[in-house]
Each structure stands twice: as C-alpha cells, then as structure tokens.
Structure 1
Amino acid sequence: MCPVRSDPIHRFHSLPLDHFDRLPDSLLLLIFNKIGDVKALGRCCLVSRRFHSLVPQVDNVLVRVDCVISDDDSSPSSSSSDKSRPAGPFSNFLRLVFGGIVKLLQALGQFLGPKRSLLNETVNAPSSSSSVGRGADDDDAEMGQAGVTHHSPTQVLRNFSEIRFLRIELPSGELGIDDGVLLKWRADFGSTLDNCIILGAASVINDVHSQVSEYGNDGFCSNNSITGNGDDNGSIPESFYTNGGLKLRVVWTISSLIAASARHYLLQPIIAEHRTLDTLVLTDADGQGVLRMNRDQLEELRVKPLSASSASKRTQVPALNMRLWYAPHLELPNGVVLKGATLVAIRPSEQSASRKEVSDASWLSTAFEEPYGTAAKMLIKRRTYCLEMNSF
C-alpha cells in the first residue's frame, strides 16, 4: 500500500493558487488606472467577477476613436460633382476655408449623440463588447461594413462611475492641410472659449544644412533669418499683406477656432454625465489640436449653458482680441527651420482684466511640446500685432 504524499511541494501543485486574490482592491485599481485604455479595460472585465466589478471604478480613462464613419465619404455623386467644378482661384480659396470645416462638422456632428453617430469608437474585440464597451441595451451598438461593432464614446464610458481624468483621442486632426505645412492649436474652454493659441508655418525644414530655396512659400527671402536673438526689427514685410500671407493666417485662425468650438459643443453629454471629472482632454493622433478643460471650467459649463452657433453644432465663438507674432524664417536650436512662422494668441474681448494678459510668456511657451514650445518663446520676443474679430 503506497503512502499518501503530504509534502509541501505536492500540496502546492494540487491546489491552484491565484496570486491576484492576494492583492487588495486598491492595488488592482492602481494597475487598471495605469492601463487606462478603454479597450484593454474591457478585456480585463472578462477575467473574473472581481475584475468586472472593479474596472468601472477606474478614474483615469483613455478612449481612442479608431475610425470616422461618414455617409458622404462613399458617395460617388459627391466626388463626381467635385471633379466637374471649375478650379478657379476663388473656388480654391473657398475650398481651403470651408472644405475641411464641412468634413469636420459632418464627422463630429453626432460625436457623442445616441444612435447612428458619425464618429464612433470601434470596438472590434469580443471582450470590449461586454460591460464597459456597452451600455444597458445592446441595440445601442452600430454595425460596420464587415459586421464590426461600433460605439460612441458616450456609450463606451457609460458604465464608468469614478472618472477623474479623461482623454479622448481622434484618429487625425479635423483640418486638412498641405504636406509640409505646420498647424497646431490648443484651446481652453469653460462655458465658452477661455483662450486659444495657434502655431503655424508655411513649411518646415528638418535639416538646416539641406539646400534652402532663396524664397519660401510666403515669398520672403531666407536671409531674413532669426535665431531668437532679435537680429532684425521683428516687423512684418509689406509683401505679407499683398501675397496672401495674412489671408492664409486668417484661414488658419478661423478653421482652428471652429474645430475647437465643435469639439467643445459635442462634449456636453460626457461632461453632464460624469460629474467626478477633474480634467478632460480631447486631442488627435496627429497632435494637430488639443482642447482642455479643468475642474473649474467643467463645473462652469454645467452651471452656465453654452451659447450655440445658429449655423452648426458648435459653441459660438465670442468677440476676440488677438495678438500675432511673425517671422519669415525661424531657425530653432535643434536645426528645424520654420518658414513663415506665425503665433496667434486669442482671448475673448470681454474677459476679466484680472486674468492673465494674452502676452503672458508662461502661458504661450508651455502650450506646445518641443521643439514648438521653443518656437513660441522665440516668436513672442518679436514685434506684436493686435487684431480683433467679431463673434461668429
């Protein structure tokens, strides 16, 4: 008769041990908060009942919007009609001003709405379609061309109850720009626009030692180069006003403000439903635009309804005071050269005088990541030009 083995090694192999059972809930939540991504959290929900109950308590969430679904994208009639239109200078200008904006509004029109939203978070993993990925009703889901399930960010976030830090990332910036053109913006909102800063350049040369043409896209001689030491008087050349340089900057400014106000308008349902939010950031994978709201701004929007534009689904932009800095040729310390570099700082005209002035260097220089933060610091040392814009 064989004796029964009772050594510790035998007992260890005979009894399965789940080491996660030893971890306290607070540590698991710390791990889930480090994960952040809503799809990965959806998969975690399937691991166990314990995980399923803890994931909705996560306070740091990232929602990546995988695709933009627009009925107009596949319309053959719209593409053929575009080809038949004359491409005159005025038509090209209108297309430059409004082409990207129309697509922006189409794509974002139902961003956070209920069914049949145009901009959806693609949930293509089976695990993501459970608990966190869905709301109360499965009918809220949309089906794509290949049977892939889509959910809007509102639906994806429905079961989270403790979100403090929320980041939503679009697949790309809304504003279509030509290759080589730099356009970045950052906007802060409460119930309306608090401030916006825009950095643009007609072209970006990554290697200062490469051959540079005598004249850039703005028609200014590259000898007007600056390195931040103020070796010219900082004045804008007269040709800037006559060769379309100013008109292009106005287009950049209006387009960026419309993109920012459209994002702000469409965030209302999330802000209303998640009262625990401390910070909300809506950005894009290209890094083109960033909309930010802190806790005070979020609460302001809940208490004070925004003014919507009568023309489209976006927040009305108030009357604005703007300051513009310009450099025909801006060489950054890392060798990157910005041709036709422009910085525009924007605040509402009626903003309280107790707030920071628009020329506050700390606000302007920290708006963008490097090397563009350095570009902003260099530009604000140049001559300032003031502009005004009516509400729209």
Structure 2
Amino acid sequence: MRSNVANLWRKIYPEKVDHFDKLPEEIILSIFNRIGNAMALRRCCAVSRRFHSIVPEVDHVVVLVNCVTLEKEKRELASSSSAAAAPHHRIASFFCIFFSVLFKPLLSLSQLIIPSARLLPLLKEEEEEDKTVSLRSMTQILKNFNEIKRLAVELRAGEVRIEDGILLKLKAEYSSTLESCVILGATSVNCSCDDDDDDDGADMDSIHESFYSEDEGLAQRVVWIVNSLVAASTRHHLLQPVIAAHKSLERLVLTDADGQGLLSMDKEQLKEQRARPLNMSLSSKRTVVPSLDVQLWYAPRLEMPDGVVLRGATLIAIRPSELPREGAMPVGSESSWAEPEGNWVVSAFEGPYGDVARMLVKERIYSIDINAF
C-alpha cells in the first residue's frame, strides 16, 4: 500500500531532472567558447562547481576594456579614492561600520563554501552595468583562464583623434616590434550627388603638386602616420603582461568599438615577442617605433562604383627599414599590388575599404622615410 502511494506521488510530482547536467563536458566547453565574453564566463563560474572547473579551460576569450592608457586608469582610481575619502554623515558612517562588521564573516564563509568566490574577485557595480573592465582588472580576470589560445580585446574607442567627417582606418601587426602597418584615410566621404565636381576638369599633375603644399595634404598625412604609430605602439606595450602570462596564446587581436584601429599578433609573432626583449621608449609608456619605409598612394577625388566619393583618399603602407627588400614594399604605380590577394597592403581591409585600397594602389606612389622614435 505504501509503495502504491509512493508511486502515485511520483506520478503527480515527478522529480525535476536537470538535462543540462547530462551534457558531456566537451559540449559545455564548446558553448562557453562560443560565449567568449570574459565577464559572462566569470558569472558562469559562480553557477556550479562543474562550471567552475570547466570555465578555466575556455580557449577563446573576449574582453571589453574601458581604460586604454595607464594614465586614464590612474585618474579614475584617484577620483574614486577621493570620492570614497569624502566626509560622510555620522549616522551613515555608523551604519556602514555596523553592516561591514555584520556581513564580513558571512562573506568569508561564502568564500569557503563557493570556490568561485575565492577565485574570482567581486565586480564593481559600474563594471557590471556596462560589462567593461579596466586594464588592471583585465589582467586579473585573465589569470583565471589557463588555456587561452585566441584572445580578443575591444576598446571603447580609438585613440587617434580626428575631426568630424574624416575617415581613418589602420591595421598593425606586431611581434617584439612593428612588422607592418596599413592606414586608409580620406578628408571627407560624400555621396556623388552631394559632391562638388569643380576639380574634375583640373589637371591631375597640378592637383598632385598641391598635395605637398596644402595644409590638408602631406602634412596632415604625416600627422595621421605618427599618431597611428604612437597609438599602436602604446597598445602593444600595454598587452605585454597578458602575453607573458599566457604561453598558450596563438592569436591576439586588439581593436576598438568604432572600428578605427586593429592590432594583431599570430602564433609566430607572439613566440618571437617572448624570445626578444622589448625596445622601450624613453617614457616607457610604449615600445619604440623603428626606422620605417613608407609608401603612400593619394587620389584627390576617388569615386566608388556605389556612388560614394572620397576626397583626399590616401592609402599608406609602412614597414621597418631593416626588413628584407624582396616583397617588403610595393614597387611601381600599377603592378600586382593592385590584385585582391597576395599582398599585405590590399588585403589589410575587407569589404568596401578593401575596394578603396585596390583602387588606390593604381594611383601615383609617394615614398617617405621615417626615423625611429
């Protein structure tokens, strides 16, 4: 009789089955790799002991960083500490002390019960809200991942300040020093129906000659080059603690939310980075930019097939001077460098930006030498 009642009870109130627990660890790890976001994975660690043991094995991690330079981070830390040091009302101070004494033992007990609380430090409320971390927090968070092979770091915005309406894109590759950098820029981007065609009847040679003298000509392009190289070398320096701590890294990409700049390092470049010491600048805030060979293509007006018109369209290819000459830099105004594949200049950008690059390499080439700085 009792067994019949028990069976009836199970039919009415069946035991809850967690089907997720039946999944093998390989599938859960694959799901975590697709999530990628370090902050989301950090929260998954606190769900269960099983998740806590699987998350450190994730090999594809994405981190959103809100502080680009150490100076910004120091200013934010100083402002937060000064705000914390501001005088409070006596009653408020009393309650703060009372609740800290009351809940501190409970927090310590939770750290003994839940290993993830001991492994992963608590987040600030503001970091949880916008899902971004500071540079210092990023280094601490990534210590909890043991098998990172691909790391993507995304900054809130680019560091190269430009005026409204100016197009500027850059892609840099690094090992222990700069290996290559490609910059694509334009002083304005308009629809062909809104573009002024006064220059269409002008002599092209006279337009190119004006490139050397106008304020928005060569001088502006040199500013783009220098600012882009300083930003890239600063980012490269800030990534050194992460590169040193994670020997398993095979791919590292640092970009920004607005898509202005991208810095990448593959497996061989990361290996070479660890084997050779960095050449630091005098300020020790960035790695030294070596002596460079620069090729520059310029078109005063470039009309795309879709009707978009770029004014002052410029493509800049940069390589260190000490690299072997064969294939290091493009030669000639119209050559194989105009092909969509087989060269690092044209393939640096995708989509419509790649189309612009393929059109620009057919233009006249300007050469520039830049000393190390």
TM exceeds 0.5?
Answer: yes
How far residue 106 of structure 1 moved from its aligned partner, in angstroms, is 3.5
Aligned equivalent of 1:261 = 233
What secondary structure sits across from 1:197 in the alignment? strand
Find out whether 1:250 has 2:228 as its counterpart. Answer: no
Is the CA contact 1:203–1:340 (under 8 Å) kept in the aligned structure 2? yes
Is the CA contact 1:39–1:133 (under 8 Å) kept in the aligned structure 2? no
Find out whether 1:212 has 2:177 as its counterpart. Answer: no
The 5-angstrom pairing of residues 353-392 of structure 1 reads 353=325, 356-358=328-330, 360=337, 362-392=343-373
What secondary structure sits across from 1:176 in the alignment? coil
CA distance in structure 1 between the partners assigned to 2:128 and 2:19 by the alignment:
40
1:322 corresponds to which letter in structure 2? V
Q: 1:161 to 1:237 in 2, by over 3 A?
A: same
What's the % identity of the aligned pairs? 48
1:284 corresponds to which letter in structure 2? D
Structure 1 spans left out of the alignment, 5+ residues: 70-103, 119-129, 216-220, 225-231
Find out whether 1:29 has 2:12 as its counterpart. Answer: no
Aligned equivalent of 1:186 = 171
Is the CA contact 2:46–2:117 (under 8 Å) kept in the aligned structure 1? no
Q: 1:29 to 1:146 in 2, by over 3 A?
A: closer
Q: 1:167 to 1:239 in 2, by over 3 A?
A: same
How far residue 312 of structure 1 moved from its aligned partner, in angstroms, is 4.4
The 5-angstrom pairing of residues 82-101 of structure 1 reads none
Aligned equivalent of 1:277 = 249
How many aligned positions are there? 326
2:249 corresponds to which letter in structure 1? L
Q: 1:117 to 1:171 in 2, by over 3 A?
A: farther
Is the CA contact 1:134–1:156 (under 8 Å) kept in the aligned structure 2? no
Is the CA contact 2:195–2:309 (under 8 Å) kept in the aligned structure 1? no
CA distance in structure 2 between the partners assigned to 1:169 and 1:14 by the alignment:
47
The superposition leaves residues 55-102 of structure 1 with CA deviations (integer Å, 9 ceiling, x where unpaired) of 11100000011x339xxxxxxxxxxxxxxxxxxxxxxxxxxxxxxxxx
Aligned equivalent of 1:68 = 67
Is the CA contact 1:42–1:133 (under 8 Å) kept in the aligned structure 2? no
What secondary structure sits across from 1:366 in the alignment? helix
Q: 1:17 to 1:197 in 2, by over 3 A?
A: same
Aligned equivalent of 1:99 = none
What secondary structure sits across from 2:7 in the alignment? coil
The 5-angstrom pairing of residues 107-126 of structure 1 reads 107=72, 116=77
Find out whether 1:59 has 2:59 as its counterpart. Answer: yes
What secondary structure sits across from 2:168 in the alignment? strand
Is the CA contact 1:135–1:155 (under 8 Å) kept in the aligned structure 2? no
Is the CA contact 1:64–1:169 (under 8 Å) kept in the aligned structure 2? yes
How far residue 254 of structure 1 moved from its aligned partner, in angstroms, is 0.4
Is the CA contact 2:57–2:145 (under 8 Å) kept in the aligned structure 1? yes
Is the CA contact 2:46–2:116 (under 8 Å) kept in the aligned structure 1? no
The superposition leaves residues 193-212 of structure 1 with CA deviations (integer Å, 9 ceiling, x where unpaired) of 0000000000111x222x22
Identify which of 143, 155, 158 aligns with 2:143: 158
How far residue 133 of structure 1 moved from its aligned partner, in angstroms, is 9.8
Q: 1:294 to 1:214 in 2, by over 3 A?
A: same
The 5-angstrom pairing of residues 185-334 of structure 1 reads 185-205=170-190, 207-209=191-193, 211-214=194-197, 221-222=199-200, 237-244=208-215, 245-334=217-306
Q: 1:373 to 1:198 in 2, by over 3 A?
A: same
Aligned equivalent of 2:49 = 49
How far residue 186 of structure 1 moved from its aligned partner, in angstroms, is 0.4
Structure 2 spans left out of the alignment, 5+ residues: 80-113, 332-336
How far residue 322 of structure 1 moved from its aligned partner, in angstroms, is 0.7
CA distance in structure 2 between the partners assigned to 1:286 and 1:237 by the alignment:
31
Aligned equivalent of 2:103 = none
Aligned equivalent of 2:156 = 171
CA distance in structure 1 between the partners assigned to 2:267 and 2:116 by the alignment:
24
What secondary structure sits across from 1:159 in the alignment? coil
CA distance in structure 2 between the partners assigned to 1:293 and 1:145 by the alignment:
28
Q: 1:374 to 1:12 in 2, by over 3 A?
A: farther
Is the CA contact 1:198–1:344 (under 8 Å) kept in the aligned structure 2? yes
2:18 corresponds to which letter in structure 1? D
Is the CA contact 1:202–1:339 (under 8 Å) kept in the aligned structure 2? yes
Q: 1:237 to 1:131 in 2, by over 3 A?
A: farther
CA distance in structure 1 between the partners assigned to 2:228 and 2:324 by the alignment:
23
2:361 corresponds to which letter in structure 1? I
How far residue 352 of structure 1 moved from its aligned partner, in angstroms, is 2.6
Between stretches 15-24 and 362-371, larger displacement belongs to 362-371
Q: 1:146 to 1:373 in 2, by over 3 A?
A: closer
CA distance in structure 2 between the partners assigned to 1:264 and 1:170 by the alignment:
13
What secondary structure sits across from 2:5 in the alignment? coil
Is the CA contact 1:133–1:156 (under 8 Å) kept in the aligned structure 2? no
**Greater helix content:** 2
CA distance in structure 2 between the partners assigned to 1:25 and 1:214 by the alignment:
63
Is the CA contact 1:192–1:316 (under 8 Å) kept in the aligned structure 2? yes
For the pair shown, the structure with the greater C-alpha radius of gyration is 2
The superposition leaves residues 198-230 of structure 1 with CA deviations (integer Å, 9 ceiling, x where unpaired) of 00000111x222x22346xxxxx2557xxxxxx
Aligned equivalent of 1:4 = 5
The superposition leaves residues 320-359 of structure 1 with CA deviations (integer Å, 9 ceiling, x where unpaired) of 0010000111112222221100000000000134565446
